[in-house]
Amino acid sequence: DRQGESERVKGYRASSHLTIRIRDIEKTGTVLDKAVSMGINHVIDNICFSISDPKDILQKARRKAVHDAKTKAETIVSELGCRLGRISCISTESGHSYPMPPMQMQHGSRSVGFSQHSTSPLPTIATGENSYKVSVEITWEIIQTTSEM
C-alpha cells in the first residue's frame, strides 16, 4: 500500500527453459518445427554445437603441443651448440570455442514459419566447427656441449 493506494497485479509472465541434445544434426530442423507446433513460442535462445566428450581430442592436442615445444627447443639449442637438460617447469592451458551458427530463416522476402501444418521448408541450421586449443610451456635447463659461445 503506497500512500493509501493498493497495488494491483497487471499481468503474469511465466517462462521455462528446455535443453535438448540432438545427436543426429540432420534432425535439428524437425525438432525445432515440432517444438513450435507444440506451442513453444520462444524456440531458440541459444544453439550450441559441441563434442560430447572432447577428452581424446584434447589429449591428442596436448601430445602435439608437447612434441612441438620439444622440437622447437631442440632446434634452438642445437644451433647454439647446446642440448636440452632437465625440465624445470611445465604449464599447460586448454580451451575451446563452440560455433554459434545463425539460423537461416529467410525465404525470399518473407520469414519462414515453423508450423508442421505449413508448406514452408524446415529451418536449416549452419553447423560450423568446434575448435580446441592447447598450449604448453616447458622450461628446460640448457647444457652447453661446446666450449665456444
**Least confident range of 20-24, 77-81, 145-149:** 145-149
If one counts every other C-beta atom within 10 angstroms of the C-beta of residue 96, the result is 15
Closest among 58, 30, 52 to 114, alpha carbons compared? 30
Sign for the CA dihedral angle at 24, 25, 27, 28 comes to positive
If one counts every other C-beta atom within 10 angstroms of the C-beta of residue 32, the result is 21
Distance, CA of 30 to CA of 101 (rounded, Å): 17
pLDDT higher at 42 or 25: 25
Q: How many residues does the chain have?
A: 149
> For position 53, what pLDDT does the model report?
86
pLDDT at 99 over 50: yes
> For position 98, what pLDDT does the model report?
58
> For position 108, what pLDDT does the model report?
35
DSSP string spanning 79-112?
Answer: HTTEEEEEEEEEEEEEEEE---PPEE-EETTEEP
Q: For 103-145, what is each residue's pLDDT tens digit?
A: 443 333 333 344 444 555 666 666 677 888 999 999 999 999 8
pLDDT higher at 63 or 14: 63
Q: For 62-85, what is each residue's pLDDT tens digit?
A: 999 999 999 999 999 999 999 999
